[in-house]
Amino acid sequence: MSDWQKHILGKLTLRQKIAQMISVRALSHFVSSDSESFASLSRLVSDVGIGGVTFFQGTVPGQAFYVNQLQSLADIPLLVAQDAENGIGMRLTDATILPHMMAIGATGDPLNAYEASKIIAAESNVLGVHHIFAPVADVNTDPDNPIINTRSFGSDPERVASFVVESVRGLQDSNVIATVKHFPGHGDTAIDTHLNLATLEFDRSRLDEVELVPFRAAFEAGVRSCMVGHLSVPCIDPTGLPASLSRPIVTGLLRNELGYDGLIVTDALDMKAITNTYGAGEAAVMAVEAGVDMLLLVADEVQALDAIEQAVDSGRTSEQWIDASVARILREKEWCGLNRQPEVSIADVFSVVANTDHLSRAVSLASAGICSMDGLDIQAVGDSYDQMIVLIKDDVCSGSGEIFTRELSSAAPASYVIYPESTSSDIDALVKASGEYDRVVVAVFLSVRSYSGSISFPPMILAAITKLAADSRNIVVLFGSPYVYALFDAGCPCIATCSTSPASEIAAAEFLIRGGKCPGSLPVTLQRV
């Protein structure tokens, strides 16, 4: 332990130590200094002394401003975190959005994961973000997985491991803490843990052969942080406790058996997989008892602090455990340089975030991951055809497809949109209209969305896709989950981007305009239903 770490740890009271173990939610949309939301967050930083802040939705200028404001209020620098798996732009409206991890996996080259992570790290550094909750180390083997899916690099454990390692290197080579998640593996579940507890219904040998492979590789590569998921794993803990609250899983498997000494964080403790069963205080105590270092997004910070303090006072848990966790947190803060410079330069933000180089590289990465679902070459979408675009979208409020339509507007000026809420009359009108064109480009958007509980289309929409895909002159482009391909019959060429990012829309349009052989390869296995 360094002199700085010893000095900080030595001056903290028990309650202040516990506060260092809590990271709270923050938004970076502008609010005035006298607003209740900012006042509440300020009190948690200055009065309670919480150890970290996790930023979600907002803007680039807003986040840079609030990071500086909050760091100026903190007696001990805050560990600022962000869940930015495919770029800071997935949280901030004006930052770079990269292709999803499955699209990076589809490129076949793990160095592309390194490149993507370097972009994330560059934008994180200038925004004062030190702790990124990525990469996803889950092996997505369940096609119906509603919450991992395209967030995973693929379905092959060794291939996923190689991409995870390079992603970790890309972040940490730039002094940003990488976090592998969701230990011990969330890829073979059909339940979104934002809604309920998921259970891994298989034996230990399967866990070793599939789920743990990328995590072991990341640990060997020196990943500094690991997020434990809200997953029941009976083969390790027969009580059925969530992994995030389970001592046999966190301390027994992760710490002792796998020898991991990095920073262990929970998944968000305000998710229903936890709150459906446990109160904020009890969940916090159980996480500490399990051996977790940092508690993310507890449902009630004061309840959590009170409960952990009472657990130590009563002898239920040990202050030595608290000290060990705080020592790891301080170690990471010092590794990031927070003991020297916690605030950010607005000028650096302006020159780095979403610069032309980052945006161009995002499109290049997306282009390299475009893959054929049927092995067919794609005939270029040219001006010599009378063409239309059909957007089939999983969310009526989504802007998906707007960029794709714009990029193809000269070749296919007509467009038609179908949503899950569309009626049979809407679909009949679409099918009839499509017959008037030489070719129809069918763009299907199917995204992972927290709290949705599923990732699919109604049967009527799948039937419409089948009708449009039956014409060999047409082209189907899958944005997001490629698994939907197994749910309809295709008589025409079909390509997949494995992402719904803006870069993927641009890359797909550019590819259709030039045509040819797809450069990527599908990183998951499909089984036709």
Catalytic residues: 194, 267
Distance, CA of 442 to CA of 416 (rounded, Å): 10
Contact 390, 442 (CB under 8 A): yes
Residue by residue, DSSP assigns 478-522 as EEE-GGGGGGS--SS-EEE-S--SHHHHHHHHHHHHH-B---B--
Token match 């948690």: residue? 44
Contact 31, 38 (CB under 8 A): yes
Strand partners, 439: 387
Contact 131, 52 (CB under 8 A): yes
Contact 509, 111 (CB under 8 A): no
The secondary structure of residue 68, as a DSSP letter, is H
Distance, CA of 387 to CA of 434 (rounded, Å): 9
Helix, strand, coil abundance in the chain, percent, nearest 5? 45, 15, 40
Sign of the alpha-carbon dihedral angle for 478, 483, 484, 490: positive
The SS3 call for residue 389 is strand
Candidates 154, 47, 139; CA nearest to 104 is 154
Structure tokens at 164: 């995870």
Distance, CA of 516 to CA of 33 (rounded, Å): 55
The secondary structure of residue 392, as a DSSP letter, is E
Q: Which residues contact 485 (CB under 8 A, 6 or more apart)?
A: 373, 478, 494, 496, 526
Alpha helices in 414-492 (DSSP H): 424-434, 459-469
Which residue type does 28 have?
S
Distance, CA of 102 to CA of 482 (rounded, Å): 10
Structure tokens at 362: 């995002």
Exposure string for 394-425, b = 16+ CB within 10 A, e = fewer: beeeeebbebbbebbeebbebbbbbbeebeee
Structure tokens at 182: 């969701």
The secondary structure of residue 378, as a DSSP letter, is B
Residue 403, H or E segment: helix 402-407
Contacts 24+ apart (CB under 8 A), 30-37: 30/59, 30/61, 30/62, 30/65
